[in-house]
Structure 1
Amino acid sequence: MAEVGESRGRRIGRVALALVYGAAGVIHLAKPGPFAVITPEWVPHPETVVALTGVAELLGAAGLLQPVSLPLRRAAGWGLALYALCVWPANYNHMQLDMARPDHGLGLGYHVPRLLAQPLIIWWALWASGAVRRRSAKE
């Protein structure tokens, strides 16, 4: 499962990210309701979009874990990075919906870190998959 020259840290990061996205994909498919509710109104067919996001997460996780093709693994990283960017509006919408509630739902203590973590998740997908590498170092 490890590529030649892949550091232990990158391998752990890749497997961890695959597990996170795999679990998220299963949850999106098994319990789509909460995700459909936070989908912005401008997104058509929220239930279908949620199902497709679950499939995308599962395929991305499988791509990260597959041991055969490094280009496929890197493509999975790019796909998951783009996915994380594309779901940002749903995360923002979730914050708006929660903050409009009298009890403020999960509150800013949940939503602000979640929104700020999105660039880190994008970077994680690119780094863990090997899609981005430092030029001057082996790893």
Structure 2
Amino acid sequence: MPKLFSFGRSKTSPLQDAARIGLGLTLMFAGTSHLTFARKPFKAQVPPWIPMDVDDVVLLSGVGEITLGAALLLAPEEYRQLVGSAAGGFFTAIFPGNIAQYQHRRSAFGLDTDQKRLVRLFFQPALVAWALWSTGAVNRK
């Protein structure tokens, strides 16, 4: 049976390294936008069942994104798979926010139709895959 997740030292290709760096920078930008100019649109993605103040959720998720982005950029090679798995877990954990935006027909980030909001749902698995692949967290051997 193949081992899907293998933590420890991994050799990633230059393409994987570029993808990891791109994801790290993207997360840091997104996290910064949570804390500054895009706080209101991010509030549209907070599910109503979250038992916290909506603004606090947006701020905390922004801090989380900045932290994960920095870790993707700066973590030593032996921790990259762990960081990639954490980023994949984060993208999975925030997926209910995308579903809530679709269910409650909340317009934000140019997602102003049901079709656009539905299509957006299919990008979340791609982010999970990006995090896992770019860090070598998924071993295809």
TM superposition score normalised by structure 2:
0.80
Report the counterpart of residue 19 of structure 1 in structure 2: 25
Which of 60, 65, 71 is equivalent to 2:73? Answer: 65
More helix by share: 1
Q: CA deviation at 1:85?
A: 0.8
- Where do 5+ consecutive residues of structure 2 fail to align? 1-8
Residue deviations 1:73-107 (CA, integer Å, cap 9, x gap): 222211111111111111111112327x8xxx611
Letter of the structure 1 residue corresponding to residue 121 of structure 2? L
Partner of 1:116: 122
Aligned positions of 1:74-85 closer than 5 A = 74-85=81-92
Please tell me whether the aligned partners of residues 10 and 81 of structure 2 are also in contact (alpha carbons under 8 angstroms): no
Counterpart in 2 of 1:96?
103
Q: Offset of 1:4 from its aligned partner?
A: 7.5
| Equivalent pairs, count | 128
Give me the whole-angstrom Cα distance separating, in 2, the residues matched to 1:5 and 1:34: 38
Contact 1:32–1:47 under 8 Å retained in 2: yes
- Alpha-carbon RMSD across the aligned residues, in angstroms, is 2.1
Residues in 2 aligned to 1:4 and 1:131: alpha-carbon distance in whole angstroms: 8
The runs of 5 or more residues in structure 1 that have no matched partner are none
Q: Which of 1 and 2 has higher RCO (CA within 8 Å, sep 6+)?
A: 2
- How big is the shift at 1:41? 1.1
Residues 85-132 of structure 1: per-residue CA shift (max 9 Å, x gap): 111111111112327x8xxx6113321221011111111111111211
Q: CA deviation at 1:42?
A: 0.8
Work out the CA distance in 1 between the residues paired with 2:67 and 2:118: 28
Q: 1:39 aligns with which of 13, 21, 46?
A: 46
Letter in 2 for 1:23: F
Q: Percent identity?
A: 30
CA contact (8 A) 2:85 2:132 kept: yes
